[in-house]
Amino acid sequence: MPEQTEFPISPVPPKGAVQRLSLYLRELRKSASEGRDRISSTRLGKLLDLKPAQVRKDLSYLGQAGQPGVGYVCQDLIGLIQRTLGTDRKWPVALVGCGKIGQALLGYGGFDPQGFQIVAAFDSDPDIVGTAHGALTVQDVDQVADSIRRQGIRLAIVAVPADAAQATADRLVLAGIEGILNFAPVVLVLPKTVRVVAVDLAIGLEQLVFGVVRQLENG
């Protein structure tokens, strides 16, 4: 077969555009909360350090998003982006690994406003299992599959040590998890049907060093 038949609707947003949609959303929420009801691509670009054309191109993947001569209506755009990203509903999330990072995530207040809620937490360490964090009690990781099925969880955060990450992820996939946010410093190799987003703390610093060193020798 030469090609996949394609929905005629949207020409598939590039990967980078999807990331920026999240940034637009955040900025739009802020602007809206400050009482602004319309915004232009130029202004949005200034706030996010992007060229206006980039903003318009990204938003054009949403279909009709703005009005020529007027700009974008903040509330409408917020709704449109949320529907596109799939965050126009609540997403329960499982947390696996409740060490330092996992516990920080349990206490992190930034998830709820975006519709994400950690509804179950797991660890393999007997000293950690059974401890309470807010409303949640850490369960043994052996119960993760049950919990995922029972609570209809589709997303998981992996915050276990590096050497346990791949096995943990395999297990989650087997239990039906469709997306993993990975904090372990390992590249997870998983079926292409499972989405993975990596958050790597040390690598961020390495990228920074490269840029800083480059900055000096080059212009």
Residues forming contacts to DNA in the complex (CB under 7 A) are 14-17, 39-42, 50-54, 56-57, 59-60, 64-72
- Cβ closest to its own copies, residue 144 vs residue 186: 186
In contact, 112 and 92? CB cutoff 8 Å: no
DSSP β-bridge partners for residue 150: none
Nearer Cβ to its own copies, position 70 or 216?
A: 216
Provide the greatest CA pair distance for the chain: 62
Q: Hey, what amino acid is at 1?
A: M
**Of 95, 76, 94, 96, residue with least CA distance to 84:** 76
Q: Are 59 and 77 in contact (CB under 8 A)?
A: yes
Of 129 and 156, which has the nearer Cβ to its own copies?
156
Of 60 and 131, CB closest to DNA: 60
Contacts to its own copies by CB under 8 A:
4, 7, 18-19, 21-23, 25-27, 46-49, 84-87, 91, 93, 100-101, 103-105, 107-108, 110-111, 113-114, 116, 154-155, 178-181, 185-187, 189, 193, 195, 197, 199-213, 215, 218-219
Q: In terms of CB distance, is 18 or 101 closer to DNA?
A: 18
d(CA 199, CA 209): 18
Least distance to its own copies, CB of residue 77, Å: 15
Tell me which of DNA, its own copies, none is bound by residue 108, counting a contact when its beta carbon lies within the kind-specific cut-off of 5 to 8 angstroms: its own copies
What percentage of the chain's residues is helix, strand, coil (to nearest 5)? Answer: 45, 15, 35
The residue (of 68 and 134) whose beta carbon lies closer to DNA is 68
Nearest approach, Cβ of residue 210 and its own copies (Å): 5
Give Cα separations from 131 to 98, 116, 127, 128, 204 (angstroms). 10, 22, 8, 6, 31
CB of 69: closest distance to its own copies in angstroms? 27
Cα separation, 197 vs 215, in Å, equals: 28
Query: Cβ 5 to its own copies, closest distance in Å?
Result: 10
* Residue 119 binding partner per list DNA, its own copies, none, with a CB distance cut-off of 5 to 8 Å that depends on partner kind: none
Minimum separation from the CB atom of position 193 to DNA (A): 18
Instruction: Give the residue carrying structure tokens 């409303």.
Output: 135
